[in-house]
Structure formats: structure tokens, C-alpha cells
Amino acid sequence: MGQAKVRVGVIGAAGFIGSGHLHRLATAVDGAYPTAVYDVKRERLEPHAERYGVKIFDSADELIASEDVDAVLIASWDATHAAFTKQCIEAGKPVFCEKPLATTLEDCQSIVEAEKRAGKPLVQVGFMRRFDPDYRKIKEILRSGELGAPLMAHCISRTPKIASGFTDSMQVTNIAIHEIDVMRWLLDEPIVKGQMIYGRPTGFAEEGLHDPQLALMWSKSGCLIDVECAANSYYGYEIQCEIVCEKGTIRLPDPPAPIVRSRLLCATEVMDDWSERFPKAYQAELQHWIDVIRGLRTEYGPGSEDGYAACAVADAMIRSQATGLPEQVTGCGQ
Ligand code: NAP
């Protein structure tokens, strides 16, 4: 595509992350600008059209096919990702798909196959933690070997309140999926076994939802990873990660915030939602995607194979919710 600016269409542009990505594309990503938006909530797109000068489409099909759209960003709800991604591949257009790539292994597989048929990489998945400077530093330290082999990892993913309709399997496909991907990437090896364990449910969870849950994963070399997944933590949004190695540990820092001392109290604010937690990563993942499309970098970030591998791990963990036992990861080259 050379150096021309990339014209991007955003599906799900009225949502939280869709509108954030739209804003970044319009204001902060070099070499790109948004031209088109679509969302089932059409009325919520009017302010975007006015602000960013984008055209509102009446369907995803029309947006993907539009001659004014070189590349597509998918930020609609999880279950819609697979079909839209395949449509983009079939149209030969680069596609940035928010995580998860798909909610079933079959759909992930069909995306990988469609991309192979297209004969060139077209997909980047929104596993943005790979672009976060702190996670990157952790990877650098692990890679250097200075702390010896990683033995265990303790992670936390807490969201204060979740939308109605959130299910047990979404604890895996929507929440733990980030840790599944980032741990595969940090440890540079496959996850081979996974399990979800239920804790006592919080009174803030919807009837029938097990919340919180504890995810356990084992890497190929035996590193044991635990992730507390909480969709109704009440008090705030929090992501933690500590990797225990033979000679020391590495811990993701808390986001910088002023420490306030008042009478008999020393405190920092806790975030209310995910949107403020990794701003540099959201920016960097989109810049990377656009740079690849423009030929300024050679490889997309996490691609369809990574989306597939993460889904295979998620699949094992969802199976474990029914069996109550650790389940082997099957179905892909990991
Ligand atoms: P959201 O606020 O509900 O936004 C999704 C938007 O897409 C809503 O306006 C929704 O409309 C719309 N939509 C649903 N189905 C659609 C369809 N078939 N065609 C077009 N638009 C459709 O959700 P969100 O929190 O932004 O999350 C969106 C996606 O991003 C999810 O897949 C989520 O997993 C992912 N996400 C990723 C991160 C990250 O850190 N990488 C963070 C947050 C979210 P309705 O409200 O009517 O359904």
C-alpha cells in the first residue's frame, strides 16, 4: 500500500472501546484516519459523524465493501467478531479485531484458514497488553535470563461491575483471555492445561453467575499461572501480575497516581474501568497495525494464530467449568 494514509472503517464505533479507537485514529495515530462507522446503535453515531467527519453506514457489509475503506477495525461485541473478520479477509482488507478473535475454536480455525487462502497476513487481534511498556519490560527481563526460570505467576483481573447477561464462560473468553495471551507471550511457550475454579459468589453478581473465579493455567515447561477473575469487584478496576522466578520476582507496577496522606490514612485512587489502565498500549497497538499496512513494519502484532491459540486455552478452561477438573489444551499448534 506504500505510504498513503490508511482510511479506516470502525464497526461497533458507538461502544466504549470502539469510540476510543475511533478517537485515536482521528487524532493520534500517524498515517491513518477514520472514514466510516457502523453500529447497531446508529443514533449514538451522529455525534461521531459530526466530530470526525466520518460516514455512517447502515450495515457492516456496506462498510467493509466501501471503496472509502482500506482497513477495518472491529469493536462490536465478542460474538460478532468472527463473521466480520472473515468478511474483511474475503474482501482482502486488513482487519484489526478486538479481543477475542472469536468465541469458538471452530470460528478461530475458519479465520486462520481464510487468511491462509488470502495468501497474506491480514489480521491483528487486540491483545494490547503486548504493547504495554511495563509488560514489555517484564518480557525483556524474562528473556535476559537474569532471574532464572519463571516458576509461577500470580495475576488479578478485577472489574467493578459487569453488564447484564455476562456468563461463566465469558469469565474466560472476555476476561481471562488477556492473561491467556499475555502469559503465552511473556513465557514464550504454549499453555497446555487450564482450569477454572469457583469461589463464593459475591452478592453483586447476577443470579447464576459464578463470580469471582480462579483461573489456573500450566505452561509447557510447568510454570503455574493463577488469575483471579472478578467481574463485580465493586471497589474498582485492577490488573496485577507478578512472575516468580528462580532468583527473584517481577511485578507489574500499579499505574502512577498521587499518594494522599490525610488523617490516619495514606491512599491512592483506584480506577473505575479499563479504559484508563493501558492508554499507551491502545495507542501503540493501533500505530503498529497502521505501520504494517503502510509497509513501515513487516509483521502485524498478535495475529489470527494467536487468537486461535488463546481460544484453544479458553476452550479447555470452559470445559473445566463443567468437569471441575484441569483440562488439556487441544486443537491447535499453540
Ligand atoms: P460496548 O460498549 O457494548 O460496545 C460494543 C458496541 O457494538 C455497542 O454499541 C453494541 O451495540 C455494538 N454492536 C453489537 N453488535 C453489533 C453488530 N452486530 N454490529 C455492529 N455493532 C454492534 O462494548 P465494549 O466494552 O466497547 O467492548 C467491545 C469489544 O471490545 C468486545 O469484544 C470486548 O471484548 C472488547 N474490549 C477489549 C478491550 C481491551 O482491553 N482490548 C477492552 C474493552 C472491550 P449494543 O450495545 O446494542 O449491543
Q: Which atom belonging to ligand 1 lies closest to the Cα atom of 14?
A: 9
Residues 181-202 pLDDT 10s: 999 999 999 999 999 999 999 9
Sheet of strand 249-251, all strands in order from the earlier edge strand to the far edge: 249-251, 238-245, 150-158, 224-230, 213-219, 191-198, 327-328
Give me the pLDDT at residue 298, please: 93
Give me the pLDDT at residue 332, please: 63
Helices 133-144 and 279-293 cross at an angle (nearest 10°) of 80
Whole-model pTM: value is: 0.95
CA-CA distance, 20 to 70, in Å (whole number)?
Answer: 20
Q: How far, in Å, from the CA of 82 to the mean position of ligand 1?
A: 13
Residues 209-225 pLDDT 10s: 999 999 999 999 999 99
CA-CA distance, 331 to 309, in Å (whole number)?
Answer: 9
Give me the pLDDT at residue 334, please: 53
Low-confidence ranges of the chain (pLDDT < 50): none
Q: What angle do CA 43, 44, 48 make, to 5 degrees?
A: 115
Which of 132, 229, 228, 147 minimizes the C-alpha distance to 185? 132
In whole numbers, what is the pLDDT of the chain averaged over residues? 96
Give me the pLDDT at residue 331, please: 75
CA atoms within 13 A on the CB side of 2: 1
CA-CA distance, 256 to 43, in Å (whole number)?
Answer: 37
CA-CA distance, 175 to 153, in Å (whole number)?
Answer: 17
Length, in residues, of the chain: 334
Pocket of ligand 1 (CB under 6 A): 11-12, 14-18, 38-41, 60, 75-78, 80, 98-99, 126, 128, 174, 274
154 within 8 A of 240, measured Cβ to Cβ: yes
